[in-house]
Structure 1
């Protein structure tokens, strides 16, 4: 009897595949609606995120985590419903066209949901009735309620993907912090007991199509594909 393949073992939800949330700083969110202000107490690295996190503290002692934009420093004041400056949080309806934003809410009060990774932002491009049109770096355009809030600026750490890993150990430590498996062995290099593609000495090209009704352990590759490979001709 063969062993369970990794996708099946992952579904069990053991510690090997579970996200180590106990290492993370916490949830990034916004204060409730209202004209509030807070001071940036510190900017820290979060193992669960690609962008640094700013710790915001209000005068009454409440603390909250924000994704730190480029240019934000310790000691700066972050305002809600204030001026259109880097780090402030405003409703999309109050942000002028052409402004770069991140941490966009999907509905009023949802908290930051869109554009949260380092260097990823959206741009306000127009209005459609009571909604605001924002364009992502991919070119896609989304229509969102004008009452939804967003942070002005671009998340810090935008050049992260341009720096090469150089050493395998560095990438292993980075992915291990999020409980990601690295390096990953190809199925054709495994033994027959470990994977349906295993057991071939000369590594032939495996059959990549599999029936939709195949058992879970055999459902690997292209599942119920109509065609595989590049399309020939025009």
Structure 2
């Protein structure tokens, strides 16, 4: 007999855990503590297995049924839902470690420890600040999914505020992060390589040199 929301809400804890079946292998495990856990029972290669698919009420009855159906589609395709769940966790963890922000932080840490070529404290602070300007735009994206238009749009937001030199330097730093990702085998190529010339060049003010020795003293006053 299929479950109903009313039956689930009215299910009271007992001295021992007990099951409320729904259909298609889906059941609700009611714990002595009062917790209600969704489980899916299925068979792979003749072996019975169970898959946890959430807790009630965080996962509603309708959502639990959807997850059951998704798992059964995997079974029909010859895949083990439990194994695929573990793979998804690994993929999510790897993706979190491979976002632009995560790799930019790793790159900055490396540059601060780079021996004779290490950044000074001032350079490190400035570089980390400029790279942080990209956090909201491409920061959470997996670095291998970022394309040239994504970077350009992010840099253009800095440029639009009139910070032309900051935009130019941020693009240079982003390129360094991408090249670091290439060097550490997490990316095949730097997506900023084709963006050279895309930004407005900042105006450089040149001051005339003082050639009169007598005026050098005046300039120092």
Normalised TM-score (structure 1): 0.23
Structure holding more helix per residue: 2
Larger Rg: 2
TM-score after normalising by structure 2: 0.24
- Asked which structure has the greater RCO (Cα within 8 Å, sep 6+), the reply is 1
Higher strand share: 1
